[in-house]
Amino acid sequence: MLIDQIIGQEEAVETIKKAAKQRRNVLLIGEPGIGKSMIAKAMAELLPPEDLQDILVYPNVEDTNNPLVGVMPAGQGKKVIENAKKQNKGQEERRNILMITIIAFIMAIGFLTNQFLSAIIAVGIVFFALYQLRPKGQQSTPKLLINSDGKEVAPFVDATGAHAGALLGDVRHDPYQSGGLGTPAHERVESGMIHRANKGVLYIDEIGTMTMKTQQELLTAMQEHKYQITGQSDNSSGAMVRTNPVPCDFVLVASGNMEVLKDMHIALRSRIRGYGYEVFMKDSMKDTPENRKKLGQFVAQEVKNDGRIPHFTKEAVAEVIKEAQRRAGKKDALTLKLRDLGGLVRAAGDVAVEENAKEVTVEHVHEARKQSRTLEQQIADRYISQRKEYSVFSNEGSKIGCINGLAVIGNSSGIVLPIAAEAAPSQSKEEGKIIAAGKLGDIAKEAVQNVGAIIKKSIGTDISNYDIHIQFVQSYDGVEGDSASVSMATAIISAIENIPIDQTLALTGSLSVRGTVLPIGGATYKIEAAAESGMKKVLIPASNMDDVLIDKKYVDQIEIIPVKTLTDVLEHALVGPQKDEFIKSLKENKIDKIKNYIPNPTDIINSKPSKSNN
Ligand SMILES: Nc1ncnc2c1ncn2[C@@H]1O[C@H](COP(=O)(O)OP(=O)(O)OP(=O)(O)O)[C@@H](O)[C@H]1O
């Protein structure tokens, strides 16, 4: 069963089991690739297949534009259609015999009375009359709209991104609707995904991308458990047709990330909440022997599902588990973004196949990791090498106002983000200006404002007496700069105080308004990027130290220094003769207070540490 293959999402699995029993709706919220659609599919397997139904549409003699609907147990529909066809055939045969007899009779009389021409005309009239009167076979045969014959599991219908017609059903246009030449209305009725999901699961990912109108209709269908099918295009003759209500008793499993909730119809969400469950799925699990074993099971599953790649050696599985630790990006955790990890498993398998190896080894996994780099990783790598070439940042000596910040692009690629600050006494009498160049202008301005308070408190300088220019040098589009606040503060202080910054050092960290350094995401990737860019030291928030899982090859290349406060940062980052004096005065002033400060929860929330782009 699929449900047994789901790894690490115990809570979601429990909920799904409960929901399947009671036929409840479910909203799954979480990152992409953690098994949301897999869970929905597993739920369909848990629903009882005995409930499945066949649905037929019949012509309505009284009102052809209002086809009738029949519902029966699975398997019956086919029989009804077969019987109707047989009956039609019998009737047609009888009618044909009658026609031939009449024609023969008229011809015989014409022959006897020598009135050939009149007889032929009479035959023509009779033939035409009978043809017009004859109900066409297909007109009276019902259409099997939903055929559940022989199905052993309840349907799972993925309606992600479906437009209204596909989702709610449609009636095709008929250009020959007049004169009896056209296709009868009931024949043109097409079922929607909501009808095909009858007694099963309707899965919709990114439900917020559906129009409000469609979401509203979906809600109606959920409430009524049936939905009339009509033509969805106003200009089509299909829009004139409306069937009797067609059953659509499905369980809705909607999914997406937190963003999706914003665009979700309020009543629809409330319906799910009221008649179902909401689950916030995990993106990582604890690093325990048991969970590592589960990842081993996952590797085996992926190998089996793929069917074309050899098995993994124990060591190769261990290597995949190590990668899961790295990707989790925090201490004692294993990633649950298993679609991506499955990608690595397949890529390693492909390398092994290419080499005609019988088993997938550690080397194959290493090679796969290199080959299956994400787009962001490839961009980051190119970016690092280009920046080295054009010396956008320096990794030696010292400079005033220039610092090597670190950022993450995508989910798993670090880059060095050089920041340059200039401070000049303000021209105007009012406040000084903050001029932020580069693509991250807005974030910079906000950060400078925050930093201003700390600088005032720590070194007594009012930055509003200065015009401050700050620039993220050649920043890349996808970079977010929130976690650059420690770097920015350092660059500004260096610029104001004229104390140079060590360029062999890179740093990352989010600054609280009280001067403590708060944790950030992607620590491992940032450190690796710093090492790759030739840095010798890297400062990271002390609270991130346990998250660091850098590749062996970088271990000797770079010194990792944990920092707790802005003073710690300045102590490591600043160099030159004035430094000691400055740090001393800083400490004597008020920094001690800050040093002993334990971050309060509000600071932590404001620092958004879980965002990996930080
Ligand atoms: N928790 C899990 N257990 C086992 N396999 C998983 C899990 N999560 C993901 N996978 C693997 O990844 C594949 C893709 O997962 P799935 O499509 O369910 O992700 P998703 O969360 O629905 O992503 P998206 O929202 O982007 O569609 C699955 O077919 C399975 O092979």
- How does DSSP assign 498-533, residue by residue? T--EETTEEE--EE-TTSBEEP-S-HHHHHHHHHHT
Asked whether 230 lines ligand 1 (CB < 6 A), one says: no
- Residue among 284, 352, 329 nearest 540 (CA): 329
How far is residue 125's CA from residue 390's CA, in Å, rounded to a whole number? 93
pLDDT at residue 404 in the model: 92
pTM: 0.73
How far is residue 183's CA from residue 233's CA, in Å, rounded to a whole number? 18
Which amino acid would we find at residue 574? L
How far is residue 369's CA from residue 415's CA, in Å, rounded to a whole number? 18
pLDDT at residue 179 in the model: 52
pLDDT at residue 476 in the model: 56
**Domain spanning 2-73+147-280: which superfamily?**
P-loop containing nucleotide triphosphate hydrolases (3.40.50.300)
Q: Write down the residue that tokens 């993220």 correspond to.
A: 472
CA–centroid distance, 36 to ligand 1, in Å, is 6
For the chain, domain boundaries: 2-73+147-280, 92-140, 284-372, 392-606
Asked whether 394 lines ligand 1 (CB < 6 A), one says: no
How far is residue 44's CA from residue 156's CA, in Å, rounded to a whole number? 6
Burial of 426 (0-12, 13-18, 19+ CB in 10 A): middle
Given a contact cutoff of 8 angstroms between Cβ atoms, the answer to whether 226 and 166 are in contact is no
Asked whether 207 lines ligand 1 (CB < 6 A), one says: no
pLDDT at residue 417 in the model: 84
Asked whether 35 lines ligand 1 (CB < 6 A), one says: yes
Q: Residue 14: which residues within 8 A CB-CB, separation 6 or more?
A: none
pLDDT at residue 600 in the model: 46
Q: What are phi and psi of 288, to 5 degrees?
A: -120, 160
pLDDT at residue 8 in the model: 93
For the chain, the distance separating the N- and C-terminal CA atoms, rounded to the nearest angstrom, is 39
Q: Is 282 helix (H, G, I), strand (E, B) or coil?
A: coil
Q: Is 322 helix (H, G, I), strand (E, B) or coil?
A: helix
- The CATH number for 284-372, chosen from 3.40.50.2300, 1.10.8.60, 1.10.10.1100, 1.10.3720.10, is 1.10.8.60
pLDDT at residue 329 in the model: 80
Protein residue whose Cα sits closest to atom 8 of ligand 1: 35
3-state secondary structure 423-440: EEECCCCCCCCEEEECCC
Residue 544, token pair as written in the block? 């991130």
Give me the average pLDDT of each 10-residue run along the chain (614 residues). Answer: 93 94 93 93 91 91 90 91 85 82 86 84 81 60 91 94 91 72 84 95 92 92 94 82 94 90 89 90 94 95 94 94 89 92 94 94 92 80 70 80 86 82 77 67 66 73 81 62 79 90 93 84 90 92 89 89 92 90 76 44 45 40
Residue 255 alpha carbon, nearest atom of ligand 1: 25
Residue 259, token pair as written in the block? 């963003």
Q: Is 426 a catalytic residue?
A: no
CA–centroid distance, 344 to ligand 1, in Å, is 14
CA–centroid distance, 257 to ligand 1, in Å, is 14
pLDDT at residue 373 in the model: 79
- Residue among 116, 230, 110, 91 nearest 171 (CA): 230
How far is residue 253's CA from residue 327's CA, in Å, rounded to a whole number? 28
Identify each DSSP E strand in 159-225 by its residue range: 170-171, 189-190, 201-205
Residue 302 alpha carbon, nearest atom of ligand 1: 31
Kindly report the number of other CB atoms within 10 A of residue 292's CB atom: 18
Quickly name the fold that domain 392-606 has: Ribosomal Protein S5; domain 2 (3.30.230)
- Residue among 50, 13, 41 nearest 253 (CA): 41
pLDDT at residue 602 in the model: 47
Q: What are phi and psi of 605, to 5 degrees?
A: -65, -45
Asked whether 343 lines ligand 1 (CB < 6 A), one says: no
Q: Of residues 148, 284, 458, 483, which has the active-site annotation?
A: 483
Helix, strand, coil percentages, rounded to 5, for the chain:
50, 20, 30
Q: Is 483 a catalytic residue?
A: yes
- Residue among 173, 215, 177 nearest 194 (CA): 215
